[in-house]
Amino acid sequence: MSATIVKLLESKNMSVTKVSEISNVPLSTLRNAIVKPIETWSIRVLNAFAIGLGERPGDLLNVLEAQPYILDINDDTQTIQGVFIADKETYQQIRTVVEVNHLEGWNPTKSDIQELLDEAISPDPQVAKRFEEVWEQEQ
């Protein structure tokens, strides 16, 4: 069942019945479609929901289709998730951190990589302070 279309309809106070009325697509057709994977929807059904939600069909399709996650690391261009890291050493450090945490289940986004890069360029003194405190306790 496409849970996302149900949520989208709810968020816009729109019912399947209303969509059917607005789009002139039979209610039974829409109800049948809503319980099936989006890949099986006809363009007519997609258009109907798009009209009901006030969206363009292409935009609605982008929202509804689950985007597969890809960890994009490119050594040639020194980019991670499309973020260019100019300094080779910093690139390797961030790459290591990303790969290790990816194995633990982290799926970093472009903004996550950008934040790591910002952290590498200008480290937060609070992080250093926290580690110093721990190390002092150890000694």
Query: In this chain, which stretch among 23-31, 40-48, 67-75, 107-115 interacts with other proteins, using CB under 8 A?
Result: 107-115
Q: Are 49 and 4 in contact (CB under 8 A)?
A: no
Q: What is the DSSP string of 15-67?
A: -HHHHHHHHT--HHHHHHHHTS-GGG--HHHHHHHHHHHT--HHHHHHHHSPP
Instruction: Find all residues with CB under 8 Å of 78, minimum gap 6, and list them.
Output: 84, 85, 86, 88, 91
Query: Is residue 71 classed as helix, strand or coil in its secondary structure?
Result: coil
Rule CB under 8 A: say whether 55 interacts with other proteins: no
Rule CB under 8 A: say whether 7 interacts with other proteins: no
Rule CB under 8 A: say whether 120 interacts with other proteins: yes
Rule CB under 8 A: say whether 115 interacts with other proteins: yes
Rule CB under 8 A: say whether 84 interacts with other proteins: no
Rule CB under 8 A: say whether 4 interacts with other proteins: no
Instruction: Find all residues with CB under 8 Å of 26, minimum gap 6, and list them.
Output: 20
Which of 16, 46, 60, 98: binder of other proteins (CB under 8 A)?
A: 98
Rule CB under 8 A: say whether 71 interacts with other proteins: no
Q: Are 71 and 81 in contact (CB under 8 A)?
A: yes
Query: In this chain, which stretch among 29-37, 45-53, 63-71, 87-95 interacts with other proteins, using CB under 8 A?
Result: 87-95
Binding footprint of other proteins on the chain (CB under 8 A): 89, 93-94, 96-98, 100-101, 104-106, 108, 112, 115-116, 119-120, 123-124, 127-128, 131
